[in-house]
Amino acid sequence: MKIFFRLIALVKPYFWWMALAALIGFATTGSGIGLLMTSAYIIAKAALQPPTGSLQFGIIGVQLFSLGRGVFRYAERLISHNITFRILAKLRLWFYDAIEPLAPARLMHFKSGDLLQRVVDDIQSLENIYTRVLGPPLTALLVAALMWFLLGVYSLQAALLILFFHTLAGIAVPLLTKQLSRGVAIGIMNYKAEQQVLALDLFQGMGELQLYGQLPAHLAAMQNAETGKLQLQRKNAIIEGMHESLTGLLMNGALIAILWVLIPSLATGTGISLTIITLAVMASFEPFLPLPSTLKHLEADQHAGERLFEILDAKPEIVAPTTPLLFPADHAIKLDRLSFTYPGSATKALDRLTFTVLPGEHIAIVGPSGAGKSTITSLFMRFWNSSEGSISIGGNNINLYDPEELRRNIALVSQKTYLFAETIRENLTLAAPDATDNDLKKALTAAGLNHFSSKLDEWCGQHGMKLSGGERQRIAIARVLLQSAPIMILDEATANLDGVTEKEITKTLNTLSEGKTLITITHRLKAMEQYDRILVLEKGRIVEQGVHAELMAGGNLYRRMWELQHTVEIIG
């Protein structure tokens, strides 16, 4: 129930719109009942062949109610759709705003298909919170109250009877349906989430699945999820059919009981009223039909809310300072006894790391795989927070800067450049939204992609599939150029490239980094002579540092790595 109240709090700003929609919903059903009642009046009265003038009252009623029903229905649809779309827009913005600070540290435990399901389907399910969950009971209550009042004026006994049958239709049947369909809505949602995860894995990992002969097993898992979902949907349809029949049964029961009570009064000449009452009773059950699905949607919405709040309640790894410092012109970097342990890990990824990088200095951080090199990048970019020690730039702890400003001032080229399924232009303006076409073309040319200058509006393909690995890295370089940050971090920037492309890109990067502070992170010892200093990292600690010649002379890990890589290359 706590989740339900949190969801209600989210839609609270639309309270007055919802109240208006419920009132108009009531007016729509009320007009339907009025139409039946006045029609019954005319038919019953006409059977007695009265003067035509005495039917005038009924005729006006039929006209008014039939017109009113159409107009009210239109207005009700208009307002409830308006509410739905407002809620949807609010929920999406609310969710994106809340999820952004959680990336990547808090989101890494979620599968991307599962996250997609939450962003798309769970929010979609919540958008109907008014039309499916809050609106129908309100309308049913108002219509029922109207009926109790009308019948109460006529006969207290009949009013009590309709109250009894309405209670059964409005409370007992929905509760019974809820009991029978317990877990069905959640089960369908879970199957859908599983299908998203499996479908994404299928598209993204098709190559691996085929390579290792796992495609049939994966398809079988998808089939199982589909079968499971279909079974639940079938169960759902049967239960829905049952509740509709039960509501119909109750309506007929109410009719028989009320007629039973009122028929003796026919002797006093109340035949016309009885006809009217009969039709009104039948119509009054209409708003009870959606109630069982209200409870089902309530269950689904609570589950969707739970899944969304699970993400949103996660505390962001980093919090921007309320009054951030301006990024300094002096950007000397200092790491002071910096340690870091990933959550759930027993060993430190970084262990009391201390070093400085002066403005304009070019350093390389090398070491075997798993030594902690990329963790340094993540801490620099504030994807994670350091648990002990500090990183400072310009004498201030980086926590004192606005994380976005910090990231604008540190240009990162990593091993895997993510390209959005957009045009070249959009992939570039990500780094500089205000860049002109001329700026983009200049950056492309400097990054060695001058042939792309005329293709700014060409689509890059899903994940940049239409570009080669080298071209993707060059787009990353063009982004860095547009960003014009004073500090550059190259984190295994050329690791995925073939020898020739690697050489060309390294050349471009060298030109680009002139006059900037450069930190190159790599496990491959190539052209190491160019660095002012090389730090050798092993198990999160600096085990050696110096220039290439000194490290080679030292004969320790660096030399062993260098010899191993160069021997392999010679043999290869």
List of residues contacting ligand ADP (CB under 6 A): 108, 342, 345, 349, 367, 369-375
Q: What tokens does 18 get?
A: 């919802």
Which residue is listed with tokens 């006059």? 515
Strand partners, 392: 334, 397
Nearest distance in Å: CB 26, ligand ADP: 55
Closest CB to ligand ADP among residues 117, 377: 377
In angstroms, rounded to a whole number, what is the distance separating the alpha carbons of residues 423 and 459? 4
Closest CB to ligand ADP among residues 322, 369: 369
- Residue 63: CB atoms within 10 A of its CB come to 12
- Separation of first and last alpha carbons in the chain: 66
In angstroms, rounded to a whole number, what is the distance separating the alpha carbons of residues 525 and 425? 34
Q: What tokens does 434 get?
A: 């205000």
CB-hemisphere CA count at 13 Å for 178? 16
Q: What tokens does 266 get?
A: 């026919």
Closest CB to ligand ADP among residues 373, 382: 373
Nearest distance in Å: CB 404, ligand ADP: 22
E strands in 367-405: 388-393, 396-397
Q: List % helix, strand, coil for the chain (3-state, nearest 5).
A: 65, 10, 25
Nearest distance in Å: CB 385, ligand ADP: 13
Closest CB to ligand ADP among residues 36, 371: 371
Closest CB to ligand ADP among residues 107, 274: 107
Torsion angle, alpha carbons of 106, 112, 114, 115, to 10:
60
HEC sequence for 488-504: EEEECCCCCCCHHHHHH
Position 333: which residue type?
Answer: I
CA 366 to each of CA 342, 383, 497, 528: distance values in angstroms, whole numbers, following the listed order: 21, 21, 18, 10
Nearest distance in Å: CB 463, ligand ADP: 21
Contacts of 20 (CB under 8 A, 6+ apart): 79
Closest CB to ligand ADP among residues 128, 378: 378
- Contact call for residues 368 and 561 (beta carbons, < 8 A): yes
Contacts of 547 (CB under 8 A, 6+ apart): 529, 531, 532, 533, 534
Nearest distance in Å: CB 540, ligand ADP: 7
Closest CB to ligand ADP among residues 497, 535: 535
Closest CB to ligand ADP among residues 299, 544: 544
Nearest distance in Å: CB 453, ligand ADP: 35
Nearest distance in Å: CB 302, ligand ADP: 32
Nearest distance in Å: CB 539, ligand ADP: 8
Closest CB to ligand ADP among residues 124, 496: 496
Give long-range contacts, CB 8 A cutoff, 24+ apart: 284-287.
Answer: 284/33, 284/143, 284/144, 284/146, 284/147, 284/162, 284/166, 285/166, 285/169, 285/247, 285/248, 285/250, 285/251, 285/254, 286/29, 286/32, 286/143, 287/29, 287/136, 287/139, 287/140, 287/143, 287/144
Nearest distance in Å: CB 564, ligand ADP: 16
Return phi, psi of residue 540, to 5°.
80, 5
- Contact call for residues 212 and 246 (beta carbons, < 8 A): no
Closest CB to ligand ADP among residues 316, 360: 316
Closest CB to ligand ADP among residues 118, 373: 373
Closest CB to ligand ADP among residues 140, 521: 521
Nearest distance in Å: CB 369, ligand ADP: 4
Strand partners, 107: none
Nearest distance in Å: CB 497, ligand ADP: 18
Nearest distance in Å: CB 388, ligand ADP: 16
Position 211: which residue type?
Answer: L
Closest CB to ligand ADP among residues 109, 507: 109
CA 521 to each of CA 265, 329, 357, 366, 373: distance values in angstroms, whole numbers, following the listed order: 95, 24, 14, 6, 6
Which residue is listed with tokens 């039960």? 246
Nearest distance in Å: CB 345, ligand ADP: 5
